[in-house]
Amino acid sequence: MRLKDKVALITGGSSGIGLATVRRFAEEGAKVVFCSRRAPEKISDFMQELKDAGIDANVRYVQCDVSDEAQVKALAQYVKDTFGNCEILFNNAGIHLAGKLLETPPEAWDRIMGIDLRGVYLVSYYILPQMLEGGWGSIINMSSVSGICADYAMCAYNTAKGAITNLTRAMALDYADSNIRVNAVCPGVVRTAIAEHTFECVPGSEELFRQNYPTHLIADPVEVANACVFLGARESDAINGVNLPIDGGITCHTGQPQVGTY
Ligand code: NDP
């Protein structure tokens, strides 16, 4: 088991990539706390699924909004009281918002910055002292290909994820000599509710995504979760400050058209 007895916190663990990562961490022997704002019915189904697999004993759910400082402080304390100092943090919670700048009113801007960016800062702020006390840690931030390059009509989201990309580098530098590594995962399109919604609302969009990706594949949440297992585990101890694309190679592309039949 690659994460045996490691204490982990995963934010936004109630669906999509977060849920897949809770499952993979549990399979790898970690003690996992995960959170979300709402506790949907599917969490009890998920806990039952873990129980059936015999890996539920060390998994706990906590309701927490990562943009609320008091709730985050309580979440960090819960992790420490339940399993001890947090060693692996996956700052995954996030929302998506479409729109160019003029289609992003101030309250929408503040909402996305509050969750996608300030949430990462806040959870890190309250968890890092535990890692310093424990003498080892691995933080994985959820960025995106939209944090490496920009997309059309995603002004606030691009900005929040771009900031996470550089926050990851800054944290990686500042805490490397304390034995704490900080990396980010930068997925392209992943088959979660967000993507499925787009595919349903915009006819032909799934095919368009497939055509654009060099691999012509849409990632499954577990493929991102597997990268998080690697970045969380001691086997990646030499990797720090990396923003890892999980994108089938789309960020390799300059955007220029393929001309001719080479
Ligand atoms: P989901 O909507 O399936 O999952 C988002 C999770 O975050 C849910 O558990 C949600 O639960 C939780 N969440 C949202 N806001 C908060 C909050 N304020 N506090 C605590 N939890 C919160 O989306 P994905 O799995 O697709 O996305 C997960 C992350 O991956 C996001 O940061 C997203 O930007 C990023 N990403 C996704 C890509 C994709 O194609 N799907 C591509 C690249 C990056 P609840 O709403 O109940 O709080």
Retrieve residue 158's tokens. Answer: 């691009």
Query: Does 194 have pLDDT greater than 90?
Result: no
Q: pLDDT averaged over the chain?
A: 97
Distance, CA 219 to ligand 1 centroid (Å)? 15
Q: Which range is least confidently modeled, 61-70, 177-186, 189-198?
A: 189-198
User: Does residue 243's CB lie within 6 angstroms of at least one atom of ligand 1?
Assistant: no
Q: What 8-state DSSP symbol labels residue 176?
A: G
Identify the band that residue 42 occupies on the pLDDT scale cut at 50, 70 and 90.
confident
Candidate of 92, 113, 115, 224 to mutate for ligand 1, largest count of ligand atoms within 8 Å of Cβ: 92
Query: Does 262 have pLDDT greater than 90?
Result: no
DSSP letter for each residue of 191-248 = SSHHHHHHHHHSTTHHHHHHHHSTT--PBPHHHHHHHHHHHHSGGGTT--S-EEEEST
> What's the pLDDT at 75?
98
> What's the pLDDT at 220?
98
Instruction: Output the pTM of the full model.
Output: 0.98
The per-residue pLDDT for range 134-180, each reduced to its tens digit, is 999 999 999 999 999 999 999 999 999 999 999 999 999 999 999 99
> What's the pLDDT at 153?
96
Would you tell me how many other CB atoms lie within 10 Å of the CB of residue 251?
Answer: 13
Q: Which range is least confidently modeled, 14-23, 79-88, 188-197, 217-226?
A: 188-197
Query: Does 18 have pLDDT greater than 80?
Result: yes
% of the chain at pLDDT higher than 90: 95
Q: How far apart (Å, rounded) are the C-alpha atoms in residues 209 and 119?
A: 29
* Residue of higher predicted confidence among 187 and 40: 187
DSSP letter for each residue of 2-47 = TTTT-EEEEES-SSHHHHHHHHHHHHTT-EEEEEESS--HHHHHHH
Candidate of 15, 111, 143, 205 to mutate for ligand 1, largest count of ligand atoms within 8 Å of Cβ: 15
Q: Looking at residues 74-85, what average pLDDT do you find?
A: 98
The catalytic site residues sit at: 157
% of the chain at pLDDT higher than 70: 100
> What's the pLDDT at 192?
96
> What's the pLDDT at 185?
99
Identify the band that residue 261 occupies on the pLDDT scale cut at 50, 70 and 90.
confident
Q: Looking at residues 190-201, what average pLDDT do you find?
A: 92
> What's the pLDDT at 40?
84
Distance, CA 124 to ligand 1 centroid (Å)? 17
> What's the pLDDT at 258?
86
